[in-house]
Amino acid sequence: MTTSRRRAEIFAGGGEQRFQGSATGDERPVLVGFLAAQRATLELKCAGLDGEPARRAVEPSTLSLLGLVRHLADVERRWFRRVLAGQDAPPRFSSDTRADGDFDGAAADPAVIAEVWAAWRAEVSFAERFVAEAPDLDVAGGTRGAVRCRCAGC
């Protein structure tokens, strides 16, 4: 798929599903909308990419779109499972000894790509449920002092 075709598909015809709401108002809808917009942007930018285009990086960096999805799966996991919910949920794609594992380990295999998207979607689903079920955004977690749910969009 060419870049110009992808751009036309993304921006033509009003098919874009990103949040268009206000940045002011009740906190929960603003937070939910902000996070939804960021997540939708990731999906839009990666739409139709598979195999080598998803894994492709420009030397000397290992940054790729697939690596970015892996990284953001771990970001969602860290903030919502580990920090806010207090779960023992180690990163899926990086570690203390492989700080860039989320980018370095991105492989062009279709099964790996599907697994990465499934992991990201599972973390997004958990985060959405967590925010929806929180009694209010003052719910706090964290090991280095209280971190409030309302800070997840900061």
Place of tokens 């899926």: 92
State which amino acid sits at residue 135: P
| More reliable by pLDDT, 6 or 58 | 58
- Phi then psi for residue 141, to 5 deg, are -145, -170
pLDDT per position as a tens digit, 116-146: 999 999 999 999 999 999 888 877 676 555 6
| More reliable by pLDDT, 17 or 102 | 102
| More reliable by pLDDT, 80 or 145 | 80
State which amino acid sits at residue 144: R
Please tell me the distance from the alpha carbon of residue 106 to that of residue 108, in angstroms, as a whole number: 7
Predicted confidence at residue 136, as pLDDT, reads 82
- CATH code, domain carrying 113: 1.20.120
Q: Is 116 exposed, middle or buried (0-12, 13-18, 19+ CB in 10 A)?
A: buried
Domain, as residue range, for 15:
3-153
Predicted confidence at residue 122, as pLDDT, reads 98
- Whole-prediction pTM value? 0.80
Domain count for the chain:
1
